Every structure is written in C-alpha cells, then in structure tokens.
C-alpha cells in the first residue's frame, strides 16, 4: 500500500498533488503567499521610483524592458523573451504654460499637452475661447462661431455614475477626438477639461488623434485641470471676450524599436494551450504610472511568483506578457496577436490588469454565455476574499486583439472610485498605491489563473 | 378617475408616494443625491481642517459639538438636542521623545503615549528592554526576567488576514492590557508595536487600561512606529543589553462635562419606534480623525440630508446620534442607552459607521437569524452599487449598549485594507478621505435606513 502511494506520488507531479487539494485550500494558500511573501510591491517601488515614467520610445521605457526581463529571469520561467515592436515616439518638451487673459489680467492655469498633439508656435497661441459641452455642439455652432477660436470642451465626467470607468467612457470623446473635430470648423486649438471626477489642480494627459485630417489642419490640444476648467468657464460667463494663451513644444518623432516582454512556463499537460496574464509596461510621461499600469505589470509577474512559492506547475502554458505602447498606439498588443497568428498559437485565456492597483472586486469577462456561467460559478470560492463581481464587459486593451477561437478574456476589476484621481496625471505615483490592495489584486489574478488552468474553458 | 388619484395623493403623503416607487428606483435616487448633491465632504472639511482633533474633554471636541448641532439645525430636523455626559479628560502634554541606547549610540525612534497612560518622570525613563510576543509570554518569563525592565510587545498584526479588523483584534490585547499585565511582573514601562499593517514611521495611539491595579503600580506605556519596532527588535538581537529611553508628560484630569449631539425627525406612522444612525464625534488627538470617525459623523448627518433632498418622510422616528467619547471610555454610548431606558424608548434599529470613509462593501449585522435573512435579502437591490457583503458580526461600539428587545444593530462595512494605515495616527487627515468613497458610504447607509424604515424588522 505504502509503495503504491509513493509510486503514485512520483508520477502525479505537482498538478496531481493540487488535484487532491480543494479549491478553497489552494486559494487560501494563494492569498497568504501574496500577503506575506510577495515581490510585487518592491518591483513596483523600483519601476516607479528608480525607473520612473515609461512613455513608449523613451529611455526609461527601455530600462523597464531590461529590468522586468531580468527580474522574470531571476524567478524561474522556462524562457523569457522579447518581441520586437516599432512604437511611436512623442516627446512633451518644455513644461507647458497657459493663462486666461481677462482684459489685461493674466490668470495662470495648469495644462498639459495631450499625447500626440502638435506644438503651438514658439510664442504660443492666443485666441478667443468658445466653450462647448460636446462634439455635437460644434455642428450646432458651425464655422462662423468657431473659426479662429480655441474650442474649450468642458463636459464633466458624470459623478452620478457608480463605476468611474462609465463616467470616463461618457466624457473621453472630447479628449480623443476634440481637436480633430474642432479643426474641421476652423478652430486654432482646443482645451479639454481633464478626465477627473475631482476638483483639483492636476491636468490629465491621454491619447488624442487627428484621424485622417491632413497635417496642415493639425491644431494644438491640451488638457486643463478641473479647477482650471471651472475658472475658465466662470470667467467666460462674465466676459465672453476672454482670451486664452497656451504654449507647448511637444513633437512627434519617427517610430522607434521597442519590445513586449514575455515570460513563459511550459504547460505540463497541454503545452499547446496558452494562458496570458499581463499589463502594459509603458505609461504616460507625467508621473511614475504606478497605477497605470505599473500595478498591472507587477501583479502579472506576481502570479508566477505565487505559483512558484506554492510549487504549482500549471497544466497549460502560462505567459506573463508586459505589453509596450498601450497608451498611445496599442502596438504591443497588436504585435503580440500578429506573432500569435504567424506561430499558429492557441490562446485559451487572457487576463489583463489595467484598472489600477486598488482593492480587487471581481472580473469583467468577454466570453460566451456558457463560459460566463462556468467562470461565475467560481464566485463562491472567491467570497472569503470579498471578490463578488463577475460581469460581462471589456477585459483589457492589450489583450483586445487576441482572436483565438473560444478564447476567454478577463479584466481584473479593482475598486474604481479613486482611479481617475490619478489617471494620466502627475500624482500617479508609488505612494498612491497601497501594498495590501496591490497584493490582493495579484492573489485574485493568480486564483482565477489557477481555476482556469485546472478546469479549462470548455463547456458542455 | 383623475379626481380620485389627486385626492389619494393628498392623503398618502411622501411615504405614500414612496410606497409606489420600487426599491430600485429609490436607491438610484439616494445614490445620485449622495454623489451629486451632498454636504458630507464639506462638513468633514470643516470638522477636520477648521476644528481638528477632538479628544474627549478638549476645547475642539466642544467646538465639534456646537458645530454639528448648528449644522443639523440648519438642515431641518424636528429637534436637535444635546445629552449631557461626563467624560474623561486625558492630555498628552509635550511631544514624546524616545531613543534606543545601544552602548553609547542613541537612535531616535518615533513613539506616542497610549491614551490613559501615566507620564514618565520629568527626566524620562531608561531601562533594559525585554521583547515579548504576547501577554502569555510574560507568565513564561516570570518576574526574574522582567523586573526593572521595559517590556517591548512586538507581535505584528497578521498580514495574512483578509480583513484588517481581524488582524487588529488579534494584536490589540498588547496595547490595551500590556502595561497592566507587565506591571504585575515588575516592569517599569512598556513599549508596544503600533497597530499598523504597514512598515512606516507613524506611532499609533489608542486606549489602554490599568484595570484594577493600584495607582502606585501604573507604569508609563507608549506605542512605537512599526519601523521603530523592527529596528528595536533587530538591535536587541545583536545586543540584549540595549537600553531604551522615553519621556512623556501626559496627565489624567478629573472628568469634564461634554455631550452627545442628537438630531431627531419624528416618524409619520410609528413615532414610538426609533432608528438610530450615528458615529462618534470624539477622535484621538494626533490628527483630525477624518476616518476615525469624522467620516461616520458626516455620513450619518448626510443620511438625513439625502432624505430631505428626496422629500422622504420616514415612518419611524429617525435619530442621528453623534456619540462622545468612543475612543477612551464609551461614556456617550452608555449615556445614550441609560437615557433610553429612563425614557422607556423603543429602538428598533441602529446603524453605526466607525470603520473609516472608504468604499462601502456591505454591512455587519447583530440580529437573529430570521432578521438576518430578511435584511440580507436586500442584497439584490444593493448589487448595482457593488454592495455585496451582508455578514453577522460586530456592529459598532457606540450602539453596543443598546438593549431594546428585538433591536437590529448594523455596522457599515467599508473596504478595510487602508484603515490601519491611518487609525489613531498623525496621518488620519482630511486628504486621506476620498470624496466619492465617503459619499457612497453615506448613500449605502441611507439606503439601508430607507429599507428598514419601509419594511420594519419584524419577521414572521
């Protein structure tokens, strides 16, 4: 009897040992490992405080590639490799200046160029301002009222939304397409209220696009802090002839070579099935990008650190993918899928963390109904960790391009209330991330990776 | 037909109108009111930044009584009144100093006297240190090893706990009873590792008790920051003869008169049934006490502001109770119950918010099984607001003394991860509270108050 057990143990390996443990027991071990023996917080410390902001094409983005590659090599993947990807290189240049010109009074306000914007002339740009609440309002106003002016987009994010991402979706068209649309009506520049639910003094940058406008029609565009937007709006109500001045020297360079960083553990039973867990390595340039998306990067790496701590050998191939260029191009995500097609890879699951390092609340899932039922049936085992929210919805931008048949895609859903306090702004720094909240997110990701690895995504 | 409707409307009043609305609709209005039209954040701003710390017996605690009374009077209660209560008055005095004395090297460390501690002598106290992990270890060591020394309690809060309050419960006996127990073995003072899951430089104060020791055996006791505790422990390992010096000049005065602040709205159908919502107005003295418990105070007041905004007239009598002296005596909570008994009042429900102004997650309930089933059946209507957690457990300290027959007692359960970063420390300040998180907590409280007011607590 004893002999048989011993022999059996020799053959069943670690996934066999794990087959004998209840899910409850494994999740307990996962959360304990994350809360008492994790590396993610110190990885984030280095990424944020020693490397800093990581805009695509910057020297620090390349440092981050080398650092995360080396760290992943040190924790025992089967292989760690880079995927070459050409990325846009946009540089902010000198710090922007701006003021409201009310008759002869200059009132300085905090702005920052939006990503991809052109510069103003060297002396800056001064013009009258027209405030609008939406892209549609441009059509109503027409060329006569817009031509030669700076369009000021001032529709606030809707504070009545419970989830802040819904408020963001409802307002971000002004930032992304404001300049393109206003230019069509002869505007000379645009100023956009920051995507921020709070009233404060931080301007929030972010991607904008001129779409298919001819280059001659590109106009400079910047975000203004929410307090600045309130002030500008109030000043305009008293004096519609108020002018606005801003100066920015940002510049778009040729694309440069960068990398996705990929760490891989071969599956012990189904090496052909790939499960991705990732975040994006690039950040905006105004701060460390500790929440967006340093947190997602180190949490994804932590998933494998937890598996190692537990001695768990996955049945499927696990890939930690640190995508480059989510913020202003999505080149890394697209490149990953392009190579996946070339290599005829079969992805069964992808999990992204790109909503900040806050207390985890659940998952947002892209899958069919039967798969959703299967995955949300795990809610019970997540309950002791206060993970309750399993919903259908957007998973993650970087894993968006993945198209493998039947793939399930998931996004970690942390508490969203504070996310837009920091998003793309100068305060998205290390000290805004709580160690335990970050670790609980990593544990939550590792737990879902474990359950999917064990049970697959097939449904009857 | 039209006439009948009109006539009916004239008679049914606002609770009648509300009877026609679905719970889903009413909760939507409550959350919208809290997120777009609330007063709680500006109340907290005043309480924290203009009034400041509010230790029982202090001038600022009295200012807080007057301020909240005036604010409640301004938002339309039927009556606002004060309940006299004698409270302890303990004063910290000069800022404490402390250092580790390793041979002749002095290493300064941050400490603060625990509430209720006696002072050291004017020149401070220097003694050898003995580190222990528990009260029980004192017994094992015995008088021989403890006499004449400073006992250093260094058992950390357990980071493996998912809810930080469980980690607190598992460690706080060292703070509360450490000095009393160590004194019995001849210790001359105690130093307690701060109740904090993080490693940082903030000492955290809190209540301690000498129990029934004779006054001659009271020994000075202080908390040391977690970083300080780590350093002291490490230094002791290298050199067990290390000494510790600390000096504090705190003093206990005679009890002084203070007040609970009570705002009341008479019930339109069952005025004899009272529903309490409250928090505690006092705080520790090291900071504003914005989380503990400024948040609970302003959220409780906001419940009535929301009802007013919605034009909702409760069926039962609603009382907002701002209790005095939760931190070091619970005199306010006890006085409230004492008067309730004298006046033969019937409390059917009490809700306390005293776990910080973080994102709300649910409720912790003290009630019988049938009542628990009834209340947790509301979970469905709370789901859109990400309120999922209905558990049996501790409700709140101030409402603890309430003994009405069949009363249901509830505590708001916010996300607990960051609570002990701030609890009783100098960083429990206004900027540590997020406006939306605070407002969502108020809406969650108002929603439960609404549902209980509407449906009662009776079960079949």
Percent of chain A clearing pLDDT 90 (strictly above): 94
CATH 3.50.30.30: does it fit domain A93-249?
A: yes
Burial A345-375 (b: 16+ CB within 10 A, else e): bbbbbbbbbbbbbbbbbbbbbbbeeebbebb
How far is the CA of B367 from the CAs of A351, B196, B347, B404, in angstroms? 41, 31, 13, 12
Query: Could you tell me which chain B residue has the CA closest to the CA of A198?
Result: B435
Q: How many Å lie between the alpha carbon of B435 and the closest alpha carbon of chain A?
A: 8
Tens digits of residue pLDDT in A356-402 = 999 999 999 999 999 999 999 999 999 999 999 999 999 999 999 99
pLDDT of residue A460: 74
Residues of chain B positioned with their CB less than 8 A from the CB of A36: 159-160
Residues of chain A positioned with their CB less than 8 A from the CB of B381: none
Does A31 contact B160 at a Cβ distance shorter than 8 Å?
Answer: yes
**Tokens found for residue A157:** 């994010």
pLDDT of residue B9: 47
Q: How many Å lie between the alpha carbon of B387 and the closest alpha carbon of chain A?
A: 9
Q: How confident is the model at residue A303 (pLDDT cuts 50, 70, 90)?
A: very high
Considering only the beta carbons, identify the residue of B35, B159, B384 that sits closest to A160: B35
Burial B347-361 (b: 16+ CB within 10 A, else e): bbbbbbbbbbbbbbb
pLDDT of residue A20: 83
pLDDT of residue A9: 47
Q: How confident is the model at residue A15 (pLDDT cuts 50, 70, 90)?
A: low
Does B415 contact A31 at a Cβ distance shorter than 8 Å?
Answer: no
Tens digits of residue pLDDT in B18-66 = 778 999 999 999 999 999 999 999 999 999 999 999 999 999 999 999 9
pLDDT value at B115 more than 50: yes
Taking the C-alpha atoms of residue A19 and residue A38, their distance in angstroms, rounded to an integer, is 24
pLDDT value at A4 more than 60: no
pLDDT of residue B447: 98
Q: How many Å lie between the alpha carbon of B450 and the closest alpha carbon of chain A?
A: 19
Q: B437 — contact with chain A (CB < 8 Å)?
A: yes
How far is the CA of A272 from the CAs of A58, A255, A345, A346, B147, in angstroms? 35, 34, 7, 7, 68
Domain boundaries, chain B: 16-90+254-455, 93-249
Quickly count: other Cβ atoms within 10 Å of residue B110's Cβ: 19
Considering only the beta carbons, identify the residue of B385, B389, B437 that sits closest to A386: B389
pLDDT of residue B82: 98
Catalytic residues of B: 326
Marked catalytic residue, from A29, A96, A181, A326: A326
Residue A84 annotated to the active site: no
pLDDT value at A404 more than 90: no
Does B434 contact A417 at a Cβ distance shorter than 8 Å?
Answer: yes
**Tokens found for residue B82:** 């004060």
Does B36 contact A160 at a Cβ distance shorter than 8 Å?
Answer: yes
Query: Cα angle at A95 between A92 and A96, to 5 degrees?
Result: 90
pLDDT value at B1 more than 50: no
Tens digits of residue pLDDT in A162-187 = 999 999 999 999 999 999 999 999 99
pLDDT of residue B16: 63
Considering only the beta carbons, identify the residue of B385, B389, B434 that sits closest to A162: B385
Residue A113, strand partner residues:
A222
Q: Which residue has the higher pLDDT, A65 or B17?
A: A65
Q: How confident is the model at residue A142 (pLDDT cuts 50, 70, 90)?
A: very high
B226 contact partners, CB below 8 Å, separation of at least 6: B156, B193, B194, B196, B198, B199, B200
Quickly count: other Cβ atoms within 10 Å of residue A390's Cβ: 20
pLDDT of residue A10: 47
A28 DSSP 8-state letter = H
A74: left (phi over 0), alpha (psi -120 to 50) or beta: alpha
> What is the CATH number assigned to the segment(s) B16-90+254-455?
3.40.630.10
Does A162 contact B437 at a Cβ distance shorter than 8 Å?
Answer: no
Check if the interface score ipTM surpasses 0.90: yes
pLDDT value at B312 more than 80: yes
Q: How confident is the model at residue A1 (pLDDT cuts 50, 70, 90)?
A: very low
Strand ranges across the sheet with B97-102: B105-108, B97-102, B243-247, B125-132, B150-153, B189-193, B221-224, B111-113
Q: Which of B329, B291, B337, B297 is nearest to B429 (CA)?
A: B291
pLDDT of residue B7: 47
Mean pLDDT of B442-454: 98
Tens digits of residue pLDDT in B352-381 = 999 999 999 999 999 999 999 999 999 999
Tens digits of residue pLDDT in B165-195 = 999 999 999 999 999 999 999 999 999 999 9
Taking the C-alpha atoms of residue B286 and residue B326, their distance in angstroms, rounded to an integer, is 16
Taking CB atoms and an 8 Å cut-off, how many pairs form between chains A and B? Answer: 67
- Selected residues 20-79 of chain A with any CB under 8 Å from a CB in chain B: 31-32, 35-36
Query: Could you tell me which chain B residue has the CA closest to the CA of A432?
Result: B432
Q: How confident is the model at residue B14 (pLDDT cuts 50, 70, 90)?
A: low
Tens digits of residue pLDDT in B253-266 = 999 999 999 999 99
Q: How many Å lie between the alpha carbon of A362 and the closest alpha carbon of chain B?
A: 10
- Best mutation target among B28, B30, B157, B159 (most A Cβ atoms within 10 Å) is B159
Residues of chain A positioned with their CB less than 8 A from the CB of B436: 159, 164, 197, 417-418
- Selected residues 350-409 of chain B with any CB under 8 Å from a CB in chain A: 359, 361, 384-386, 388-389
Does A434 contact B440 at a Cβ distance shorter than 8 Å?
Answer: no
A155 contact partners, CB below 8 Å, separation of at least 6: A133, A134, A171, A174, A193
Q: How confident is the model at residue A7 (pLDDT cuts 50, 70, 90)?
A: very low
Considering only the beta carbons, identify the residue of A160, A164, A418 that sits closest to B32: A160
**Contact status, residue B351 vs residue B276, Cβ threshold 8 Å:** yes
Average pLDDT, chain B: 96
Tens digits of residue pLDDT in B385-432 = 999 999 999 999 999 999 988 999 999 999 999 999 999 999 999 999
**Tokens found for residue B379:** 């979970």
pLDDT of residue A16: 63
Average pLDDT, chain A: 96
Query: Could you tell me which chain A residue has the CA closest to the CA of B35?
Result: A160
Mean pLDDT of B80-97: 98
> What is the CATH number assigned to the segment(s) A15-89+254-455?
3.40.630.10
pLDDT value at A332 more than 70: yes
Does B418 contact A440 at a Cβ distance shorter than 8 Å?
Answer: no
């Amino acid at each position: 009897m004893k002999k048989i057990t011993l022999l059996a143990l020799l053959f069943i390996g670690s996934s066999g040992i794990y087959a004998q443990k209840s899910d409850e027991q494994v999740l307990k071990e996962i959360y304990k490992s994350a809360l008492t023996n994790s590396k993610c917080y110190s990885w984030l410390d280095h990424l944020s405080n020693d490397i800093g902001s990581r805009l695509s094409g910057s020297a620090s983005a390349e440092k981050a590639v080398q650092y995360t590659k080396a760290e992943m090599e040190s924790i025992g993947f089967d292989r760690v490799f880079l995927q070459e990807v050409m990325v846009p290189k946009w540089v902010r240049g000198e710090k922007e200046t701006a003021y409201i010109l009310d008759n002869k009074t200059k009132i300085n306000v905090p702005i920052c160029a939006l990503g991809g914007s052109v510069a103003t002339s060297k002396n800056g740009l001064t013009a009258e301002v027209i405030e609008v609440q939406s892209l549609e309002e441009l059509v109503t106003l027409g060329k006569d009222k817009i031509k030669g002016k700076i369009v000021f987009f001032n529709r606030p994010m809707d504070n009545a939304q419970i989830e802040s991402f819904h408020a963001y979706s409802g307002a971000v068209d002004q930032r992304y397409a404001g300049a393109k649309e206003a230019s069509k009506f002869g505007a000379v520049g645009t100023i956009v209220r920051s995507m921020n639910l709070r009233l404060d003094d931080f301007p929030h940058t972010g991607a904008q696009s001129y779409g298919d406008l001819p280059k001659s029609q590109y106009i400079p565009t910047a975000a203004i802090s929410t307090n600045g937007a309130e002030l500008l709006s109030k000043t305009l109500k008293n004096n519609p002839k108020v002018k606005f001045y801003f100066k920015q020297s940002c510049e778009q360079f040729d694309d440069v070579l960068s990398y996705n960083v990929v760490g891989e553990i071969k599956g012990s039973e189904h090496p052909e099935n790939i499960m991705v867990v990732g975040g994006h390595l690039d950040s905006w340039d105004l701060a460390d990008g500790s929440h967006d998306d340093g947190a997602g990067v180190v949490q994804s790496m932590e998933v494998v650190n937890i598996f190692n701590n537990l001695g768990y050998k996955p049945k499927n191939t696990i890939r930690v993918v640190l995508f480059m260029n989510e913020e202003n191009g999505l080149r890394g995500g697209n490149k990953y899928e392009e190579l996946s097609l070339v290599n005829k890879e079969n992805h069964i699951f992808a999990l992204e963390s790109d909503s900040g390092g806050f207390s985890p609340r659940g998952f947002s899932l892209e899958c069919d109904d039967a798969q959703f039922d299967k995955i949300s049936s795990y809610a019970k085992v997540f309950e002791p960790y206060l993970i309750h929210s399993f919903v259908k919805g957007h998973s993650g931008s970087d894993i968006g391009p993945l198209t493998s048949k039947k793939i399930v895609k998931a996004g970690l859903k942390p508490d969203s209330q504070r996310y837009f306090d920091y998003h793309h702004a100068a305060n998205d720094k290390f000290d805004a991330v709580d160690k335990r909240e970050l670790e609980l997110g990593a544990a939550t990701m590792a737990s879902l990776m474990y359950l999917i690895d064990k049970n697959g995504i097939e449904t009857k």
